[in-house]
Amino acid sequence: MMLTSKNNKKTFTLGILGGGQLAKMIALESYRLGLEVAIIENGAHSPAGDMTKLEFTEGWHNQINLDEFIKASDIVTLENEFIEPEILEYISNFINVFPSAKTMRFVQDKFNQKTVFFNNNIPVPDFSSVDTIEEASKFGEKFGYPFLIKTRTLGYDGYGNYTVKNIDDISTAFAKFSSDGKQRKLMAERFVDFKRELAVMVARSLSGEIAVYPVVETIQENHICKVVLAPADITAEQKNIAQEIAVKCVESIDGIGIFGVEMFEDSNGEIIVNEIAPRPHNSGHYTIEACRTSQFENVIRAITGLPLGSTEMIAPAACMVNLLGERDGSGIPADVSKALSYGKIKLHLYNKKSSRKGRKMGHITALGNTTKEAYEIAILASQSIVW
Ligand SMILES: Nc1ncnc2c1ncn2[C@@H]1O[C@H](COP(=O)(O)OP(=O)(O)O)[C@@H](O)[C@H]1O
Ligand SMILES: [Mg+2]
């Protein structure tokens, strides 16, 4: 089977909502497979927008720009979860878009997402929606302190989370998540005293085929993913449970595309789901070098109905280290030669136009015989980049 464009004269074109690093890495795989890419983003010169002539720079809230983007595309996917389902519904009047509006409605609100998982017997931390300080303090009485207050929508890299240590903290959290006297929708969640954080990527295709990636360990610094170790150092039983749970999560939201399922291993070794991302995920960047088929290739295969590729690792172990912005200023490092002298690493730079503290500017992946070996090389290489 070959992918044919709706307009037979042009190359099959994958449209991506968003032009960041995830779109860039999907685009790299698309070009290798002989596809064309269209990008819609607010503003020019995004990491992926710079790669194509089919760049639409007014964003999807601009009707004319959105219509032009749809016209240029044969199928559409997304690289972040902050897109109104109505926009996806509109696009689907003309061409396929995955993940679907229905999936995004399940996922976008973390309370709705956890409710779907809970209803499907997927283990999640105790949680509740909290509209008032009184409701939050009742949650604290019932489940104990500390607990988390999370914004139900638009949270990322920990920006929507507040750890409440005692009853007095609750009003601070509520104040933090309100502006102009308007309270954002909030939820409370029991604090999981985790041994480690795990993640599993799952591809699920239009034809119902499923491909599950290895279970990895993720290490967050200030709530931002810093290191990923593949495979995670867990038992075979835990691995099977984590992979089964991840698949169940994707099925419960009827997901088509690629999904990153974030989990905790609690102090008893139980696996508990934190959240799902309906797109390529930072915890899956290692798959570019370490697996037969990367997460970025499998999302293309999944949404177009092509057979999914093998998720098997081609090295015993891998480690990915994020290059997080250390300062405000240029996004281009001053010197990478030392890093590149480590022969066993791959350097990825996203070409973001500016850097900011904690911003994801690139990443390094190392393969090794053990995760320890891969970790040591990846850390040394990342530290030797001069910003
Ligand atoms: N219930 C919890 N218990 C303990 N730590 C948590 C809990 N929820 C989130 N965290 C920590 O905060 C990080 C970010 O939280 P998450 O809910 O995944 O938000 P984001 O959307 O910002 O990724 C997690 O990776 C984890 O380290
Ligand atoms: Mg998260």
pLDDT one-digit tens code per residue, 27-54: 999 999 999 999 999 999 999 999 999 9
Q: Percent of the chain at pLDDT above 90?
A: 91
Report residues whose beta carbon is within 6 angstroms of any ligand 1 atom. Answer: 125, 148, 150, 155-158, 160-161, 189, 191-192, 197, 220, 223, 262, 274-275
Q: How many CA atoms lie within 13 A of 156 on its CB side?
A: 11
Q: Which atom of ligand 1 is nearest to the CA of 225?
A: 25
pLDDT at residue 1 is higher than 70: no
7 pLDDT tier (thresholds 50, 70, 90) = confident
pLDDT at residue 65 is higher than 90: yes
Closest ligand to C-alpha of residue 156 is 1
C-alpha of residue 200 to centroid of ligand 2, in Å: 13
Q: Which helix (H) or strand (E) holds 4?
A: none
371 pLDDT tier (thresholds 50, 70, 90) = very high
Sheet with 147-151: strands ordered across:
127-130, 186-190, 147-151, 161-164
Please provide the average confidence, as pLDDT, over all residues in the chain. 96
Taking CA atoms only, the protein residue closest to ligand 1 atom 19 is 158
Which domains are delineated in the chain?
A: 13-97 (3.40.50.20), 126-190 (3.30.1490.20), 194-383 (3.30.470.20)
Residues 6+ apart with CB under 8 A from 184: 151, 152, 153, 177, 178
Average pLDDT over residues 362-377: 98
Tell me the sheet residues that pair with 313: 291
Question: What is the value of pTM for the model shown?
Answer: 0.96
- Three-state SS at 312: coil
pLDDT of residue 300: 98
Tell me how far apart the alpha carbons of residues 179 and 338 are, in angstroms, rounded to a whole number.
46
**Residue pair 200/191 in contact by the 8 Å Cβ criterion:** no
Q: Ligand 1: which of 223, 227, 263, 275 to mutate, judged by most atoms within 8 Å of the beta carbon?
A: 223
pLDDT at residue 345 is higher than 90: yes
C-alpha of residue 156 to centroid of ligand 2, in Å: 7
Average pLDDT over residues 195-207: 97
Taking CA atoms only, the protein residue closest to ligand 1 atom 13 is 223
**Residue pair 270/256 in contact by the 8 Å Cβ criterion:** no
pLDDT one-digit tens code per residue, 250-297: 999 999 999 999 999 999 999 999 999 999 999 999 999 999 999 999
| Pick from 15, 2, 20: nearest CA to 157 | 20
- Bridge-based pairing of strands 271-277 and 224-230 is unpaired
